[in-house]
Chain A
Amino acid sequence: MYVSLIQNAALLVALCTFYSLISRLRRDGEVWPRILAGLLFGGVAVAGMNMPFHYAPGIIYDGRSIVLSMAGLFGGWSTGGIAALMAALYRVHLGGPGMWAGLATVLGCTITGRIFRRAFGDRPERLGILSFYGLGISAHIVMLVCQLLVQPWPTGIAVISRIWMPVMMVFPVATVLMGVLLGNEESRIVAERSLRDLTTELEQRVGQRTAELEGANEVLEAFAYSVSHDLREPLRAISGFAEIIARRHRDSLNEEARHYFDNILEASSRMDELITNLLAYSRLGKEVSPLKTIALSPLVAEILSESGSGQIARDAEIVVQPDLPVVTGNRTLLRQILSNLIENALKYRRGGVSHRVEIGAAMEGSRVVVRVSDNGIGIATEHHDRIFNIFQRLHSPDDSAGTGIGLAIVKKAVELMGGTVGVESRPGEGSVFWVKLPAGVIAGNEGGHDEKKSRYFAR
Chain B
Amino acid sequence: MKKRAVILLVEDNRMDIEITLDAFREVKLENEIRTVKTGEEALDYLLGRGNFTDRESHPLPDLMLLDLKLPGISGLDVLKTLKQTPVLKRLPVIILTSSQEESDRVAGYDHGVNSYLVKPISFSGFLDVAKNICDYWLSLNVNAPLIKL
Q: Does A385 contact B (CB under 8 A)?
A: no
Please report the C-alpha to C-alpha distance between residue A240 and residue B121 in the assembled complex, in whole angstroms.
7
Residue in A229, A240, A279 whose CB lies within 8 Å of B19: A240
User: By the criterion CB–CB under 8 Å, are B119 and A236 in contact?
Assistant: yes
| Size bracket, chain B contacts | 10 to 19
Rounded to whole Å, the gap between the CB of A450 and the closest CB of chain B is 35
Contacting residues, chain A, for B53 (C-beta < 8 A): none
Interface residues of A in 222-240 (CB under 8 A from B): 229, 232-237, 239-240
Rounded to whole Å, the gap between the CB of A402 and the closest CB of chain B is 19
Contacting residues, chain A, for B98 (C-beta < 8 A): 229, 232-233, 236
Please report the C-alpha to C-alpha distance between residue A63 and residue B142 in the assembled complex, in whole angstroms.
105
A233-252 vs B, Cβ < 8 Å mask (1 yes, 0 no): 11111011101100100000
Contacting residues, chain B, for A239 (C-beta < 8 A): 121-123
Contacting residues, chain B, for A269 (C-beta < 8 A): 121-122
Q: Does B102 contact A (CB under 8 A)?
A: yes
Contacting residues, chain B, for A236 (C-beta < 8 A): 15-16, 19, 98, 119-121
Please report the C-alpha to C-alpha distance between residue A279 and residue B120 in the assembled complex, in whole angstroms.
15
Contacting residues, chain A, for B126 (C-beta < 8 A): 240
Rounded to whole Å, the gap between the CB of B14 and the closest CB of chain A is 9
Q: Does A268 contact B (CB under 8 A)?
A: yes
Interface residues of B in 26-54 (CB under 8 A from A): none
Q: Does B13 contact A (CB under 8 A)?
A: yes
Q: Does A272 contact B (CB under 8 A)?
A: yes
Rounded to whole Å, the gap between the CB of A266 and the closest CB of chain B is 12
Q: Does B141 contact A (CB under 8 A)?
A: no
Contacting residues, chain A, for B16 (C-beta < 8 A): 233, 236-237
Please report the C-alpha to C-alpha distance between residue A265 and residue B92 in the assembled complex, in whole angstroms.
34
Q: Which 8 A-B pairs have the closest CB atoms?
A: A237-B15, A243-B123, A240-B19, A240-B123, A272-B121, A232-B98, A244-B123, A236-B121
Contacting residues, chain A, for B19 (C-beta < 8 A): 236-237, 240-241, 244
Interface residues of B in 108-149 (CB under 8 A from A): 119-124, 126
Residue in B22, B102, B121, B124 whose CB lies within 8 Å of A235: B121
Interface residues of A in 264-301 (CB under 8 A from B): 268-269, 272, 279, 287
User: By the criterion CB–CB under 8 Å, are B99 and A243 in contact?
Assistant: no
Contacting residues, chain A, for B18 (C-beta < 8 A): 241
Please report the C-alpha to C-alpha distance between residue A268 and residue B124 in the assembled complex, in whole angstroms.
14
Contacting residues, chain A, for B123 (C-beta < 8 A): 239-241, 243-244, 247
Contacting residues, chain A, for B100 (C-beta < 8 A): 279
Contacting residues, chain A, for B124 (C-beta < 8 A): 243
Q: Which of chain A's residues has its CB closest to B20's CB?
A: A240
Interface size in chain A (residues, C-beta < 8 A): 18
Contacting residues, chain B, for A233 (C-beta < 8 A): 13, 15-16, 98
Rounded to whole Å, the gap between the CB of A399 and the closest CB of chain B is 25
Q: Which of chain B's residues has its CB closest to A273's CB?
A: B121
Q: Which of chain B's residues has its CB closest to A271's CB?
A: B121
Please report the C-alpha to C-alpha distance between residue A244 and residue B122 in the assembled complex, in whole angstroms.
9
Rounded to whole Å, the gap between the CB of A233 and the closest CB of chain B is 6
User: By the criterion CB–CB under 8 Å, are A244 and B121 in contact?
Assistant: no
Q: List 18 A-B contacts (CB under 8 A).
A: A229-B98, A232-B119, A233-B13, A233-B15, A233-B16, A236-B19, A236-B120, A237-B15, A239-B122, A240-B15, A240-B123, A243-B124, A244-B22, A268-B121, A268-B122, A269-B121, A279-B100, A287-B102
Rounded to whole Å, the gap between the CB of B103 and the closest CB of chain A is 9
Please report the C-alpha to C-alpha distance between residue A422 and residue B32 in the assembled complex, in whole angstroms.
58
User: By the criterion CB–CB under 8 Å, are B102 and A240 in contact?
Assistant: no
Q: Which of chain B's residues has its CB closest to A247's CB?
A: B123
Interface residues of A in 413-450 (CB under 8 A from B): none
Q: Which of chain A's residues has its CB closest to B98's CB?
A: A232
Please report the C-alpha to C-alpha distance between residue A235 and residue B22 in the assembled complex, in whole angstroms.
17
User: By the criterion CB–CB under 8 Å, are B15 and A232 in contact?
Assistant: no
Q: Which of chain A's residues has its CB closest to B100's CB?
A: A279
Contacting residues, chain B, for A234 (C-beta < 8 A): 15
User: By the criterion CB–CB under 8 Å, are B122 and A240 in contact?
Assistant: yes
Q: Which of chain B's residues has its CB closest to A283's CB?
A: B101
Q: Which of chain B's residues has its CB closest to A286's CB?
A: B102
A199-235 vs B, Cβ < 8 Å mask (1 yes, 0 no): 0000000000000000000000000000001001111
Rounded to whole Å, the gap between the CB of A363 and the closest CB of chain B is 35
Rounded to whole Å, the gap between the CB of A277 and the closest CB of chain B is 14
Please report the C-alpha to C-alpha distance between residue A241 and residue B16 in the assembled complex, in whole angstroms.
10
Q: Which of chain A's residues has its CB closest to B121's CB?
A: A272
B4-23 vs A, Cβ < 8 Å mask (1 yes, 0 no): 00000000010110110010
Contacting residues, chain A, for B122 (C-beta < 8 A): 239-240, 243, 268-269
